[in-house]
Structure 1
Amino acid sequence: MSEQTRYLDLPDGRLAYDDEGAGPLVVCLPSMLDLRSQFRFLRPLLLKAGYRVVTVDQRGMGDSDAAWPEYGSTPLGRDLVALLRHLDAGPALVYGCSNGAAAGVWAAAEAPELIGGLVLSAPFVRDGEAGFAQRLTMALFRVPGLARPLYLGYYPKWEPKPPADFAEHKALLAASLKRPGRSKVIAEYMSMSHAEAEARLDRVTAPALVIMGTADVDWPDPAAEAAWVAGRLDAEVVLLEGAGHHPHVEFPERIAEAVERFQRSLGQA
């Protein structure tokens, strides 16, 4: 497989992804409102280690279409199932970040034959209890004209140890959000719920690994949230000191090692 943008036509729109390498399949879902290039550091490490790596642009982001009837972790879960069936490569390891983790949980419960393992990175697999300041921020994200600048202003909080190309990636993200039809995407994602993923946790039979950064601003106690998710899934936890909401951007080597170790434990590599 070569590196180039590929597309999967679904009933409600077209999903963009890339597909490269040979070997055990790893499908990577970035966090909400980000690009598949979020995996620009992890992807080459996994390719070098002998994996087939597929990275996906969520609905409304990057090269995927913008005019979808709904957004969120459950629609992304349905997209993931459709993509895995399209790839037809046997059970895959799914690496999902944030709402991508919820999508992985949803897919693992609904189509267990497609998923051999889950790596849940900075996982949002339930709706957290937000304080007043967070509720106010989320409300402002849904105001037309404010959503994009507010989101881009908040974005650095997710990577407290930013990579050297942070400004370049953020500029690409800003350009993506200016593309036609993207004006409502931020508000749609900010309104999503992960309740359907939480309701399916007890149905997941695939082995799971939970990865969490101790500096993840989206949880008041990241370690406690990681422990809760791991307890529901009988999963191992990898805590990364100082990492934020995108640990594979800040610590790609550590994440690659964790993924390879987990994959070997499954007897698939």
Structure 2
Amino acid sequence: MNTSIAREVHFLQRPEGRVSYTVEGSGPLVVAVPGMGDLRSSYRELVGPLVHAGYRVAVTDLRAHGDSDTTFREFGDIATGRDIIALIDELGGPAVILGNSMGAAAAAWAAAERPDAVAGLALYGPLLRDPAMSAFAVASIHGMYRVLFAAPWGASMWSGYYRSTLNKGRQAPWLGEHVAAIKTNMKEPGRLSSFRRLTLQLTHSVVEPRLPEVHAPILAFVGELDPDYKDPVAEAAWIASIGATTVLVGESGHYPHAARPDITVPQTVDFLARLRDGSEQGANAVTAAWAARA
């Protein structure tokens, strides 16, 4: 199932299977990574403007999502971060990484792990740390995931939650089409069980301690209605405390890059332009090497 607005799907070979991606344009490399339970087509508002602005844009699926293989057994931020690094190396880095939700966490991990490969980060609804909760609460949530995301109702449960809860506030005009594609994709053999495995393996506790090692410039968009944060304003302030430029996006839930392109697209383009000309605070030798790539 081709879940991208781009026609040609490429595959990155990894030890447990292949990760799907598309690539368009020419210029410095930008790699976009969606969040859990999403498809690479969630970046449709950004791809065109970035290609037009002179960037080579690769948009990847997560493991077992979209057109990626369902043979994977390892999931989470580190596994995804390693896939990002492998894709950057495959395409010729360094790259600026765009990341949503857990894709943002994986991008941050990749920037800490391979600072030579990452020139900057633009993050949308980033989940860079686990919420504070007891071991009993975590076990209860995992038990709920096992039930909610089981066949035959799991795909409907996730797509409904994605549409009604995670997309509070303004919604993309193509949200209905996108949710239908997510549901159809998740009903393909092996995808729902892989998604459930991801929900049980996922923890951002592996990312938070690595954040001091991230030296690439960061732009982060936080939706003021994002239900994944107990307090979006406080979370935006915390993300700013690690050195990021943060933007609190009004009338937006967990997907500000899709719901509020009027805010996120021009600011992302401007951020990349500042990286490219060296005027962005925190720009460094890796940023200069990225900007020099044609």
TM-score, length basis structure 1: 0.92
What does residue 3 of structure 2 align with?
none
Q: Specify which of 15, 33, 45 is matched with residue 37 of structure 2.
A: 33
| Residue 149, structure 1, aligned to residue 156, structure 2 | yes
What is the alpha-carbon distance in structure 2 between the residues aligned to residue 135 and residue 263 of structure 1?
41
Q: Specify which of 106, 110, 118 is matched with residue 103 of structure 1.
A: 106
Spell out the pairing of 1:244-259 with structure 2 (5 A cutoff): 244-259=253-268
SS at match of 1:219: coil
- Deviation at residue 206 of structure 1 after TM alignment: 0.8
Percent identity (aligned)? 40
What does residue 14 of structure 1 align with?
18
Q: Specify which of 66, 81, 86 is matched with residue 82 of structure 1.
A: 86
Deviation per residue, 1:84-139 (Å, 9 max, x gap)? 10011x32110100000111111111111110001121111111135999985653
1:17–1:56 CA contact under 8 A, matched in 2:
yes
- Deviation at residue 66 of structure 1 after TM alignment: 1.1
The one-letter code matched in structure 1 to 2:146 is: R
Distance change (3 Å), C-alpha of 1:134 and 1:213:
farther
Distance change (3 Å), C-alpha of 1:134 and 1:165:
farther
The one-letter code matched in structure 2 to 1:158 is: L
The one-letter code matched in structure 2 to 1:69 is: R
The one-letter code matched in structure 2 to 1:42 is: L
Distance change (3 Å), C-alpha of 1:103 and 1:170:
same
Q: Specify which of 188, 191, 196 is matched with residue 182 of structure 1.
A: 191
- Deviation at residue 151 of structure 1 after TM alignment: 1.3
Distance change (3 Å), C-alpha of 1:247 and 1:130:
farther
2:32–2:59 CA contact under 8 A, matched in 1:
yes
Deviation per residue, 1:204-242 (Å, 9 max, x gap)? 11111111110101111112112112212x111111111
1:36–1:55 CA contact under 8 A, matched in 2:
yes
TM-score, length basis structure 2: 0.85
* Cα-Cα RMSD: 2.0
Q: Specify which of 7, 27, 36 is matched with residue 23 of structure 1.
A: 27
- Return 5+ residue gaps in structure 2 as ranges: 1-5, 279-290
| Residue 265, structure 1, aligned to residue 269, structure 2 | no
1:215–1:242 CA contact under 8 A, matched in 2:
yes
What does residue 243 of structure 1 align with?
252
Deviation per residue, 1:244-267 (Å, 9 max, x gap)? 111111112321211122122222
What is the alpha-carbon distance in structure 2 between the residues aligned to residue 31 and residue 60 of structure 1?
12
| Residue 214, structure 1, aligned to residue 224, structure 2 | yes
Distance change (3 Å), C-alpha of 1:186 and 1:130:
farther
What does residue 124 of structure 1 align with?
127
Distance change (3 Å), C-alpha of 1:138 and 1:252:
farther
| Residue 43, structure 1, aligned to residue 47, structure 2 | yes
- Return 5+ residue gaps in structure 1 as ranges: none
SS at match of 1:142: helix
